[in-house]
Amino acid sequence: MAERCVRTDPLLVGGTGRSGSTILGRFLGQHPHLHLTNPEELRFVANDHGVAEALAFAQMKWPRNRGAKDRAADAAGRCSDEWFYRDANTGLHTSMTLAQMKAATQGYLNGFGTDALAATQNFVDTVMSFVLATSQGRRWIDGSPANARVTDWLQPIWPQCQVIAIIRDGRDVAASFVQQDFGPDDIFDALEQWFTRMKRMHTAVQRCTPGRILTIDMMDFVVHDRAGTVNAVCEFAGLAADEQWLAWFDEHVTADAAHIGRWRSQFDQQTLYRLDARYAQMCIELRTSGYIVPKDQ
pLDDT of residue 72: 98
Question: Residues 273-285: pLDDT tens digits?
Answer: 999 999 999 999 9
pLDDT of residue 6: 85
pLDDT of residue 2: 40
**Cα separation, 272 vs 208, whole angstroms:** 37
**Cα separation, 153 vs 150, whole angstroms:** 5
Q: Which residues pair with 175 in a beta bridge?
A: none
Question: Residues 108-155: pLDDT tens digits?
Answer: 999 999 999 999 999 999 999 999 999 999 999 999 999 999 999 999
Tell me how far the alpha carbon of residue 109 is from its chain's centroid.
25
Q: Determine contact, residues 170/81, Cβ cutoff 8 Å.
A: no
**Cα separation, 27 vs 23, whole angstroms:** 6
Residues of the chain with pLDDT under 50: 1-3
1-37+139-297: CATH class: alpha beta
pLDDT of residue 1: 35
Nearest to 285 by CA among 219, 176, 198: 198
pLDDT of residue 5: 62
DSSP per residue over 264-281, as a string? GGSS-HHHHHHHHHHHHH
Question: Residues 212-239: pLDDT tens digits?
Answer: 999 999 999 999 999 999 999 999 999 9
pLDDT of residue 296: 86
pTM of the model: 0.95
Nearest to 123 by CA among 208, 197, 36, 58: 58
pLDDT of residue 291: 94
DSSP per residue over 205-242, as a string? HHHSPTTSEEEEEHHIIIIITHHHHHHHHHHHHT----
The domain spans of the chain are: 1-37+139-297, 39-131
Strands lying side by side in the sheet with 11-15: 34-36, 139-142, 11-15, 162-167, 213-217
